Structure 1
Amino acid sequence: MATRACVLLAICAGAFARDCIELTLSDRQQNILTDSLFNGTIVLTANNETYIESAKYDFLELWDAFPKIVVPVNGTSEQCRRDSQMFLDSLDRLELWALKMFDATAKPPSGILSGNGNQYGDFDECLSIDSAVRGKYCLASLQVDLAHMGFTHLDYLVHSGHYIRSNITDMGHRVPRYSSLLWGVCIPSSCSSYDLEQELSNKLSHLRISVRVQNTMCTVRDVKRPYSFGKSLAIAFFLGLLLLLGLGTIFDEGKEGATNFEKLLNAFSLKRNIRKIFDLSDSPTRVKGLDAFRGVNAFALLLAHKSMAMAHSPYANKTSFSEVFGMPWAVVGRSAIVYTDSFLYLSGFLNSHNLLQDLEKKGTIDLKSRLLARWFRLFPMFLSLMLFCTYILPDLNNGPQWNLVVEEHSRVCEKNMWKSFLFIHNYFGFEEMCLTHTHQLGMDMQLYVATLPLMLLVWKSRRLGLSLIFGIAAISTVLRYLATHWYDISMFVYYGISVQKLLEAARYSYILPTHRATIYLIGVLMAYFIRSKRSHVKLNDTQARLVWCLCFALAAFTIVSPYRMGLEGYKYEHFTNAMFAAFAPILWGLFMCIAHWAICNDYAGIGTAFVESRVFKFFNKIAYGVYLTQFPIFFYNVGVQRHAEFYSPLLLIHIPEMVVVLVVSIITTVTIEMPFNQVYRIYFGKSQTKLKEK
Structure 2
Amino acid sequence: MRTVSVALLLAALVALLSRGPGARAGLAPANGEEAALRDLIGSLSHPDTLLRHVRDARRADPNLNTFGAVDCVGSLVGWGAALVKGEMWALQMVDATSKLITGVLYGNLADLGNFDECVSSGNSEEVGFTGRYALPALDLQTAVPVPAAAQPEARLLQLRRGLLAAAAAHREHQDQGLLLPAAGNATVKYSTLAALRISMCVPSTCQAPVLEAALARAIAVINGPIAGLGFHLQVRLPEKYTTVAGPWRKAAPADYVVITLCVFLILLVVLGTTIDLTLHPEVSLILLANVADKTKRRKAGMLLSFSAYTNGKRLLTIPPPSDTNFTCINGIRFISAMWVIIGHRYNKALEVPFMNLSIMPKRVSDPSAMMIASAPLSVDTFFLVGGMVNCYAFLKTTKGSFNIIMYYVHRYIRLTPAFALMIGITATWIAILGNGPLWHQVVGDASLSCVRNWWSALLYVGNYATPTDQCMMQSWYLMVDMQLHWLSPLLLVPLWKFPRLGLIWGGVLFLLSCLSPFLVTYFYELPAPMSTDINWDAQYVFLKLMYYPTHTRATAYIFGSMVGYVLYKIKTGKLRWRLSSVQVACGWMLSTALCLTVIFGEQPLLDHDSHPYNVWEASFYSGFHRVAWSIGIAWIVLACIQGNGGPVNAFLSWSPFCVMGRLTYGIYLTHAAVQIVDTGLMRSSDYYTDFKMVERMLGDLTIATFLGACLCLTTESPIMAIEKALRSKPARRGKRVQLWYNLNDSVRGNYGVRHVFSDAPERPTAPPDEGKPGEGLDNPSFVPPSPDPSPA
The TM-score, its normalising length taken from structure 2, stands at 0.74
RMSD: 3.0
Matching residue of 1:504: 541
Q: Deviations over 1:644-687 (max 9, x none)?
A: 23322112222433321222222222222111111211222465
Matching residue of 1:398: 435
Gaps of 5+ in 1: 1-8, 18-36, 40-56, 156-176
| Cα deviation, residue 622, structure 1 | 0.3
CA contact (8 A) 2:328 2:653 kept: yes
| Cα deviation, residue 632, structure 1 | 0.6
Matching residue of 2:708: 665
Matching residue of 2:86: 94
Q: Which of residues 302, 307, 311 in structure 2 aligns to 1:269?
A: 307
* Equivalence map 1:62-461=2 (5 Å): 65=42, 67-69=44-46, 71=50, 73-74=54-55, 76=64, 77-131=69-123, 132=127, 133-144=129-140, 150-151=155-156, 179-208=194-223, 209-253=233-277, 255=281, 257=285, 258=288, 259-282=297-320, 284=322, 285-359=324-398, 362-461=399-498
Q: Percent same amino acid at aligned positions?
A: 23
Distance 2:411 2:213 in 1: 52
| Cα deviation, residue 473, structure 1 | 1.9
CA contact (8 A) 1:14 1:62 kept: no
CA contact (8 A) 1:16 1:113 kept: no
CA contact (8 A) 2:247 2:435 kept: no
Aligned pair in 2 of structure 1 residues 490, 134: CA closer, same or farther (>3 Å)?
same
Gaps of 5+ in 2: 14-30, 59-63, 147-153, 161-191, 224-232, 289-296, 730-741, 744-754, 762-792
Three-state SS of the structure 2 residue aligned to 1:106 is coil
Three-state SS of the structure 1 residue aligned to 2:72 is helix
Three-state SS of the structure 1 residue aligned to 2:428 is helix
Q: Deviations over 1:363-415 (max 9, x none)?
A: 22232332232122210110111111110111111111100111121111101
Distance 1:151 1:321 in 2: 24
CA contact (8 A) 1:66 1:204 kept: no
Distance 2:677 2:193 in 1: 18
Q: Deviations over 1:24-81 (max 9, x none)?
A: xxxxxxxxxxxxx958xxxxxxxxxxxxxxxxx9983488746443645325321111
| Cα deviation, residue 539, structure 1 | 2.3
Q: Deviations over 1:453-502 (max 9, x none)?
A: 43122222223222222222222222211111122223423544532232
Three-state SS of the structure 2 residue aligned to 1:144 is strand
Matching residue of 2:230: none
CA contact (8 A) 2:103 2:355 kept: yes
Matching residue of 2:564: 527
Distance 2:327 2:312 in 1: 24
Aligned pair in 2 of structure 1 residues 62, 316: CA closer, same or farther (>3 Å)?
farther
What amino acid does structure 2 have at the position aligned with 1:273?
N
Aligned pair in 2 of structure 1 residues 445, 664: CA closer, same or farther (>3 Å)?
same
CA contact (8 A) 1:306 1:652 kept: yes
Three-state SS of the structure 2 residue aligned to 1:181 is strand
Number of aligned residues:
626
| Cα deviation, residue 690, structure 1 | 7.0
| Between 303-312 and 325-334, the greater mean CA deviation after superposition | 325-334
Aligned pair in 2 of structure 1 residues 451, 87: CA closer, same or farther (>3 Å)?
same
Aligned pair in 2 of structure 1 residues 408, 267: CA closer, same or farther (>3 Å)?
same
| Cα deviation, residue 507, structure 1 | 1.2
| Cα deviation, residue 603, structure 1 | 1.1
Aligned pair in 2 of structure 1 residues 491, 384: CA closer, same or farther (>3 Å)?
farther
Q: Which of residues 655, 666, 688 in structure 2 aligns to 1:625?
A: 666
Aligned pair in 2 of structure 1 residues 223, 307: CA closer, same or farther (>3 Å)?
closer
Aligned pair in 2 of structure 1 residues 344, 63: CA closer, same or farther (>3 Å)?
farther
Distance 1:14 1:616 in 2: 48
What amino acid does structure 1 have at the position aligned with 2:106?
S
* Equivalence map 1:49-68=2 (5 Å): 60-61=37-38, 65=42, 67-68=44-45
Distance 2:483 2:8 in 1: 61
What amino acid does structure 2 have at the position aligned with 1:648?
T
Matching residue of 1:20: none
Q: Which of residues 614, 637, 641 in structure 2 aligns to 1:596?
A: 637
Q: Deviations over 1:200-226 (max 9, x none)?
A: 111123334321001122211125524
Distance 1:62 1:321 in 2: 33
Aligned pair in 2 of structure 1 residues 427, 514: CA closer, same or farther (>3 Å)?
same
Distance 1:660 1:138 in 2: 31
Are 1:556 and 2:596 an aligned pair? yes
CA contact (8 A) 1:483 1:508 kept: yes
Distance 2:716 2:613 in 1: 43
Distance 2:216 2:336 in 1: 46
Aligned pair in 2 of structure 1 residues 692, 239: CA closer, same or farther (>3 Å)?
farther
| Between 262-271 and 519-528, the greater mean CA deviation after superposition | 262-271
| Between 579-588 and 236-245, the greater mean CA deviation after superposition | 236-245
CA contact (8 A) 1:178 1:311 kept: no
Distance 2:301 2:347 in 1: 43
CA contact (8 A) 1:629 1:664 kept: yes
Aligned pair in 2 of structure 1 residues 59, 420: CA closer, same or farther (>3 Å)?
farther
What amino acid does structure 2 have at the position aligned with 1:291?
N
Distance 2:414 2:310 in 1: 19
Q: Which of residues 623, 634, 640 in structure 1 aligns to 2:675?
A: 634
CA contact (8 A) 1:626 1:665 kept: yes
Q: Deviations over 1:435-468 (max 9, x none)?
A: 1211010111111111134312222222322222
Distance 2:728 2:547 in 1: 35
Aligned pair in 2 of structure 1 residues 619, 590: CA closer, same or farther (>3 Å)?
same
| Between 223-232 and 618-627, the greater mean CA deviation after superposition | 223-232
Distance 1:222 1:495 in 2: 37
